């Protein structure tokens, strides 16, 4: 494997950066730094027809969300529910604004970005509970927001990919409507850490051993990391899961478990688009403004989403 030369430039930039590693900071300081830096290499913000903040909830419980509408159609629109990355610890609606705009514009769909609770203040299973709460609440509100209930996808990167995969399994167990599609970008699927790539690429490729320990310890707390709601690769039954696109990167410690997850879906008869970007690293989804191959991979993800939400075209 050969790393993309523009990725090498990014890694050199990070090494020379005055910003300290997030794992050396308090969680609030890490979040503030992440929000400040996350968009520096990202794609330009796509124009939207409207962006609306929604406190989505019921019975005195609410989760903050942001609804992106690329264009007004006058019809019930397809929707992507987006769960952001950041090790369940950092990341926000603001740091993923350009991601959501880009997916909405290119996939011709609306995007609902979810501000789930973050660790370590809110460890596992808080993020899972928030994702499920939003999903269940949304089912009764699709007419209010002009959403086509048959065309609601779920997606996310890294920790968000983990939560998206978990939601699909938990929705099926709870008898809730299932997503029509799942977009999993370099997802964390096995928090027990047994796959070789977690060691092979744990230094020098952005997501390092110290990051993974800090994120994982804060999120897991005292919980069993083999719990499928934390490690969705360990769910016993993959039959009936939504069609998926699983994207992985060649210099990413999480690549093995992402590939294993796609293989498990395929073995259960689930339609899967498995896309592997050999020269890229974890985090490339937010680097499309500086790395051509990252932008191409982002475009592939948007195309996968568009094909799932607009099957007639």
pLDDT tens-digit readout, 254-293 = 999 999 999 999 999 999 999 999 999 999 999 999 999 9
Class for the domain spanning 5-309 = alpha beta
pLDDT of residue 313: 72
Q: Where are the chain's structural domains? A: 5-309
Task: Point out the residues that are catalytic.
Answer: 158, 252, 282
Across-strand partners of 111? 68, 80
Task: Specify the pLDDT at position 216.
Answer: 98
Q: What is the pTM of this model?
A: 0.98
Q: What are the tokens at 160?
A: 């968000």
**pLDDT computed for residue 72 by the predictor:** 93
Return d(Cα 184, Cα 248) in angstroms, integer: 9
The per-residue pLDDT for range 63-91, each reduced to its tens digit, is 999 999 999 999 999 999 999 999 999 99
Q: What is the pLDDT of residue 312?
A: 85
Mean pLDDT, consecutive 10-residue segments, the chain of 313 residues?
Answer: 96 95 97 96 98 94 98 96 98 98 98 98 98 97 97 98 99 98 98 96 97 98 97 98 98 98 98 98 98 98 98 83
């Amino acid at each position: 494997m050969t790393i993309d030369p523009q990725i090498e430039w990014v890694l050199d930039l990070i090494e020379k950066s005055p910003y300290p590693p997030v794992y050396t900071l308090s969680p609030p300081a890490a979040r503030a730094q992440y929000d400040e830096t996350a968009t520096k290499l990202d794609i330009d913000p796509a124009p939207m027809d409207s962006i609306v903040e929604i406190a989505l909830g019921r019975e005195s419980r609410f989760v903050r969300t942001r609804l992106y509408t690329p264009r007004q159609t006058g019809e019930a629109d397809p929707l992507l529910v987006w769960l952001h990355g950041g090790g369940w610890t950092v990341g926000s609606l603001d740091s993923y604004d350009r991601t959501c705009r880009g997916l909405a514009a290119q996939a011709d769909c609306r995007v609902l970005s979810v501000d789930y609770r973050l660790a370590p203040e809110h460890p596992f299973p808080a993020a899972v509970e928030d994702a499920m709460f939003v999903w269940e609440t949304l089912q009764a509100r699709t007419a209010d927001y002009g959403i086509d209930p048959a065309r609601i996808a779920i997606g996310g990167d890294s920790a968000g990919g983990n939560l998206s995969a978990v939601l699909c399994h938990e929705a099926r167990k709870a008898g809730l409507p299932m997503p029509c599609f799942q977009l999993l970008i370099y997802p964390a699927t096995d928090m027990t850490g047994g796959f070789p790539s977690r060691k092979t690429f744990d230094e020098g490729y952005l997501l390092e051993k110290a990051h993974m320990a800090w994120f994982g310890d804060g999120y897991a707390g005292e919980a069993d990391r083999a719990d499928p709601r934390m490690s969705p690769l360990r769910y016993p039954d993959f039959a009936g899961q939504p069609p998926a696109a699983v994207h992985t990167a060649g210099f990413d410690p999480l690549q093995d478990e992402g590939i294993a997850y796609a293989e498990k879906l395929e073995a259960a008869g689930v339609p899967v688009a498995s896309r592997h970007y050999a020269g890229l690293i974890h985090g490339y989804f937010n680097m499309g403004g500086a790395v051509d191959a990252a932008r191409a991979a982002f475009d592939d993800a948007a195309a996968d989403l568009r094909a799932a939400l607009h099957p007639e075209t």
